[in-house]
């Protein structure tokens, strides 16, 4: 496959970036998207040019580290992470535009790498349960209803990749926050801190400069883990309950 790539280059957070054009030949359709970028970087290295910086870690779709805006779609045209996207999803002669996640709360570190620390700080602001240390409690001593456990498990698949923020026209992280609120709120262990969790996480969300949700659904379409929109409804309901309880 022969490809034309338009890629965002930016030396660091303090300078202006710009789109650069690269021609790449000999791409196999069995390569992953990141392997295709590896091939390009090898060529850039050979020419003595600065290779393109992009994030990746596990390369098996479970860590949430990789994330690129590919032709205007977070993680590209398939419902998966960028590392699990393969070149067979593209055609010979295609022109591909590759950009970093764009959000005030995700500053560009270099080229296609952004700082997603804002997601960690939202977790720090309530996305946890406080548990005593010591030996593990007897597993059956805290019963959890099956449907609630399943819902919690399904939304706990969120890997915090930030695609929801990248795809949202408002730059909102509501799907991420909603996934955490639902995940912990459906389980017995999440109940004592339920009100303070939602208020804390939403306050940190707003503080980081994420936008408000307008329920349009671009986030859930971009989510590689297919987190549904109802977690945002759950988030709103939990916030409303906390409001009623005077938090």
**Which residues would be at the binding site for another protein (CB under 8 A)?**
6, 8, 19, 69, 71-73, 97, 99, 102-105, 107, 117-118, 121, 124-125, 167, 169-172, 198-200, 202-218, 220-222, 228-230, 232-240, 242-243, 247
CB of 190 to another protein, least distance (A): 16
Could you give the CA distance from residue 35 to residue 224 in angstroms, rounded to a whole number?
19
SS3 119: helix
Q: Which is nearer to another protein, 40 or 239 (CB)?
A: 239
SS3 19: strand
Q: Do 77 and 89 meet the contact criterion of CB atoms below 8 Å apart?
A: yes
Going by C-beta distance under 8 Å and a sequence separation of 6 or more, which residues neighbour residue 149?
A: 186, 187
CB of 73 to another protein, least distance (A): 5
Question: In this structure, how many other beta carbons lie within 10 angstroms of the beta carbon of residue 215?
Answer: 11
Q: Which is nearer to another protein, 45 or 196 (CB)?
A: 196
Q: Which is nearer to another protein, 20 or 58 (CB)?
A: 20
CB of 121 to another protein, least distance (A): 6
Could you give the CA distance from residue 150 to residue 139 in angstroms, rounded to a whole number?
17
Could you give the CA distance from residue 124 to residue 105 in angstroms, rounded to a whole number?
16
Q: Which is nearer to another protein, 137 or 209 (CB)?
A: 209
Q: Which is nearer to another protein, 28 or 233 (CB)?
A: 233
Could you give the CA distance from residue 33 to residue 112 in angstroms, rounded to a whole number?
14
Q: Following CA atoms 68, 167, 202, 109 in sequence, which dihedral angle do they give, to the nearest 10 degrees?
A: 30
Summarize the chain as % helix, strand, coil (round to 5).
40, 15, 50
CB of 47 to another protein, least distance (A): 25
Q: What angle in degrees, to the nearest 10, is found between the helix axes of 194-207 and 117-124?
A: 150
Q: Which is nearer to another protein, 88 or 102 (CB)?
A: 102
């Amino acid at each position: 496959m022969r490809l034309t790539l338009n890629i965002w280059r930016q030396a660091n957070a303090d300078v202006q970036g710009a789109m650069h054009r690269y021609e790449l030949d000999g791409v196999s359709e069995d390569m992953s998207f990141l392997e295709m970028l590896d091939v390009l970087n090898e060529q850039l290295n050979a020419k003595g040019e600065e290779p393109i910086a992009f994030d990746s870690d596990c390369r098996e779709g479970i860590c949430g580290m990789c994330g690129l805006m590919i032709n205007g779609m977070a993680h590209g045209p398939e419902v998966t992470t960028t590392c699990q996207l393969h070149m067979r999803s593209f055609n010979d002669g295609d022109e591909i535009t590759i950009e970093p996640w764009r959000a005030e709360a995700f500053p560009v570190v270099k080229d296609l790498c952004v700082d997603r620390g804002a997601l960690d700080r939202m977790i720090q602001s309530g996305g946890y349960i406080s548990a005593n240390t010591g030996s593990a409690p007897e597993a059956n001593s805290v019963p959890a209803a099956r449907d609630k456990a399943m819902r919690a498990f399904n939304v706990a698949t969120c890997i915090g990749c930030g695609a929801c923020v990248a795809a949202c026209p408002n730059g909102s992280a509501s799907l991420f926050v909603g996934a955490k609120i639902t995940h912990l709120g459906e389980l017995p262990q999440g109940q004592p801190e339920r009100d303070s969790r939602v208020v804390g996480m939403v306050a940190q969300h707003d503080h980081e400069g994420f936008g408000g949700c307008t329920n349009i659904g671009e986030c859930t379409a971009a989510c590689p883990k297919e987190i549904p929109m109802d977690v945002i409804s759950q988030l709103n309901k939990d916030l409303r309950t906390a409001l009623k309880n005077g938090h």
